[in-house]
Chain A
């Protein structure tokens, strides 16, 4: 299987997860060490001040994107154990029809560090505006067999 086909399968598998379906999230791009997602406003994810996407949801989706970015770099027998640390700076209200999430691995190892940005995905005056900056540290494990 090619890397592209493996990433396509990975993206489709994650998109089928109830969490992502419920939050209106699609995987728009995967490459080694990077995951790009898009989240459409819906009745589930909008509940923040100024009619924005809930801050917890933004953090949750960034965390998902970070795990997905880390997953693209896993070797044989490796797996993501879970989040070790999560830090979010909220900069502007996420009120766009579509919010994009771009997660990039900064360091790959047993503690993998991922940087994620949430931005306005709509065209127009605020296109690309940074909504939140997220840093996620994921613990990786390896099968002993």
Chain B
């Protein structure tokens, strides 16, 4: 690589995600608030921990997977079954600046997969986007 592109230089805070016990739910640990899921779309929000201005990308990464799985699930019905995330790609345009809103949409489908695209935005606008391939399998009749 010949030359560094110019990355954002906004210094992040010392991230401290919500404190809690070991048996907390994943959503609780990461500050994830489930939204709606229907007809190939799903949303969720990620809250900043108390004292932090914005959620960590670590939390957003998990939240994106949770939301995309919920979006895919709305398009899967027997004899199809959910079979796991196969690929996940997230690109950030800048660090999050506040509560993050994730919106996922199934944009393509095949017998073995769902293609899901998503955006992540805060009050200042969209700051990340990406896509995922979710694997689906079809149960054979006995």
Contact = CB atoms under 8 A, between A and B. Distances in A.
Given A82-B95, A107-B1, A111-B5, A59 B61 contact: yes
Contacts of B65: 54-56, 59
Decide if the interface of chain A is mainly helix, strand, loop or mixed.
mixed
Contacts of B26: 44-45, 47, 54, 56-57
Interface in A59-111: 59-60, 63-64, 79-90, 93, 107, 109-111
A22 B31 CA distance: 12
B84 A79 contact: no
A28 B61 CA distance: 23
A14 to B, nearest CB: 11
B75 interface: no
A90 B86 contact: yes
Contacts of A18: 16-20, 29
Contacts of A93: 84
Interface string B1-38: 10011111111100111111011111001100000000
Contact of B62 (A56, A109, A143): A56
A10 interface: no
A22 B22 contact: yes
B138 interface: no
Interface residues of B, number: 47
Contact of B30 (A19, A48, A49): A19
A140 B4 CA distance: 11
B97 to A, nearest CB: 11
B86 A89 contact: yes
B121 to A, nearest CB: 16
A87 B57 contact: no
A52 interface: yes
A60 B84 contact: no
Interface string A4-37: 0000000000000111011110000000000000
Contact of B61 (A60, A80, A90): A60
A56 B87 contact: no
Interface of A: 17-19, 21-24, 42-45, 47-50, 52, 54-57, 59-60, 63-64, 79-90, 93, 107, 109-111, 139-143
6 contacts: A19-B15, A44-B26, A56-B63, A56-B65, A63-B58, A90-B86
